[in-house]
Structure formats: structure tokens, C-alpha cells
Amino acid sequence: MSLTAGIVGLPNVGKSTLFNAITKQQILAANYPFATIDPNVGTVIVPDKRMIFLENLYKPERTIPTTFEFTDIAGLVKGASKGEGLGNKFLSHIRETDAIVEVVRCFEDNNIIHVDGNVDPIRDVEVINVELILADLEIIDNRINKIGKKAQTTKNKEDLKEYNLLVKIKESLEKNIPIRNLSLTEDEIKIVSSFNLITLKPIIYVANVNEEVVATNGNDYVEKLKEYAKKENSEVVMICAKIESELSELEEEEKKEFLNDLGIEESGLSQLIKATYSLLGLATYFTVGSDEVKAWTFKKGMKAPECAGIIHTDFEKGFIRAEVMSYTDLEEQGNEQKVKEKGKMRLEGKDYIMQDGDICHFRFNV
């Protein structure tokens, strides 16, 4: 299951530095707008301590963690929705992602140019968000113009339903309210899903701070950003992109020492990956054995046959049942045999809704 979060932000806020750290790929990170023109996609491992326990228990030939994709999208500027700074090209890249990670500069540095001359996280967020809203408004207006007369003339039930929804969304966007804040029903989301509306996507804000702030609770800029995000039920992850870039060059033990010296338990990057994974409603199940321990990504709410289909379509077509135990029970009991003796191993059918941490063996017949 391949899902992608797009990293957006104004030029020179630390986007490309963060992306370098995320992927360990050295893309162009220059101190001027539009250093990044084409989107870059990087795959990251989702940190999961459960894999260490499973690997030690089963001693498999190979261990395969679950992964997640980030797309670095070039810096947006005011007027992007009208094509400023190659904006239309960048906005089309954002439409292809599943979630938005918006990097916001929350540090002072006279050596790094700010496109607007000074640091103001709320102004920066609003510049980006207004451009995303304007881009969506253009699509909604075009669709209303196309379907409006037909819906009102023919009184077709489905056309009227879509038209009324589009009008509701248009009114919201004109008040600078992103679509994700409208609490649309599943049926309404289905109606507009083909439009790839940017402001319907879930968003997480990254407060990029300097080295002095990273081991603290933040600064005034971070607090302002948190207040802004709280109003739209979004989350803020505080990161020092420069430190994350340095960490990405170190071996695992060196990373731990570095983090300890900074007084940090977990890197900002790990927090961001976990937060983005959760933002998209993703969870992990495992398959285990002496040959392989593997983590699989699924969307919360998926049933056992659908999850089996992630491994192979034949598993879903011929699904019979799933043999399931929870990671918590396995860790608590120490091995599979004890889990069975305690009656914690279960056989689940087609209607079973998979849970994060399930360890599964799927039985199927094709």
C-alpha cells in the first residue's frame, strides 16, 4: 500500500534540508527560491520497536519493515495559484499526494534569506494555505459552471446533490476555510474525490527550529503555530532540520549518543514519520516466521480479506480465515506456544476488522 505525503512550504524554510534527512538523498538544497523544481520522492522506514522484538524471537533470514513515501515539492510563493514561481506545476504535484506536510520557519538566521524579509510563521502558513484554497476554488468554479445549468434544468437527483455540495464548498473556500474543516460525509467525499482537491487532504505542520530550541518546548514562533493548528484540529511536530540532516549521516549507535547529548529521546524525523502515518489513518500488521518477519501497512477499518490482499490478490480472492494473535499478547507471553496455551490465538473470518499490531497467518484457497 503506497501512500505519499507532500512536503510544502515557502522557499528557504528548510524543506529540502528536511527532505535530505528523510531520504538520505542529496538533492539540491540552495539558499535561493526554486532550488527544487521537480518533485523528489523518497521512501522512509516507519520506526517500529516491535520489529526488534519479533526479529529477536523468530531470528528470520530477512526482516522487512513497513515504508512510507515523502514527496519534496518546490517552494511555493504568493501567487502560486496564478502561476507565480512555476506555481501551477507545483500545485499539480501536491494534488497527487495523500497528505500535506507544511514546513514552517520558526527560527531566526540572518544568513538565510526569508522571501518576505522577516520571520512570521502565521503569515507564512496563511500565504501557503490561501494559495491552496485559491487553487481548489478554481476547480470548484469550473465544475459549477459545467454542471450548474444542467442540474437546475433537468433536476437530476445526483447532479443536484453534486451541485449543492459544490456550492457549499465554494462558500467555505471563499471564507478561507479549507475543505477538510467541513466535516463532509463519506458520500460527499466520494462525490468530490476525483477532483483531487488539495485542501481536502489532511495536514500536519512542521515547526523548523534552530539547535538551541530543539531540546526545549519551543519558542514564541512555535507556540503561535500550535495555536493556529489547534483551531483546525491539526498537529505540529517540532524539528531542527539541520540536526536531522546531521543525524542522517550517523550510524545507529552514534545517533543514540548524539540524541542523548542533546537531551532528546526520539528524533524529530521519527516523530514526523509516525505522526504522518497516523494522520493518514494507517496501521501495521505483521507476518512472521523463520524465513521472514515483515510489517505491512493497512488503512484502519480494513477487514481481514482486504489486508490479506495487500500481500497478494489471490489471498483476498480465496480468503478462508485468518489465524491472529496480537503483538501485545505475544510480547507478554514470550512465544507463540504460550499464546496458544492462554487461548489468545484466534481464528477470524471475513468480517474481522484488523487491528494495529495483529500478527497474522492467512488461510486461503484459490
Dump pLDDT digits (tens) for 35-65: 343 457 888 888 899 999 999 999 999 999 9
- pLDDT, tens digit, for every residue of 59-86? 999 999 988 888 888 655 565 445 544 4
Per the CB < 8 A criterion, the answer to whether 237 and 273 are in contact is: no
Say which residue the cell 530543539 belongs to. Answer: 214
pLDDT beyond 60 at 183: yes
pLDDT beyond 80 at 278: yes
Listed residue (90, 109, 92) closest to 10, CA to CA: 90
User: What type of residue is 84?
Assistant: E
Lowest mean pLDDT among 116-120, 137-141, 174-178, 225-229: 116-120
C-alpha cell of 104? 514552517
pLDDT at residue 204, rounded to an integer: 96
pLDDT at residue 85, rounded to an integer: 45
C-alpha cell of 79? 501567487
pLDDT beyond 50 at 122: yes
C-alpha cell of 333? 507471553
pLDDT band of 31, cuts 50, 70, 90: very low
Q: What are the residues facing 211 on neighbouring strands?
A: none
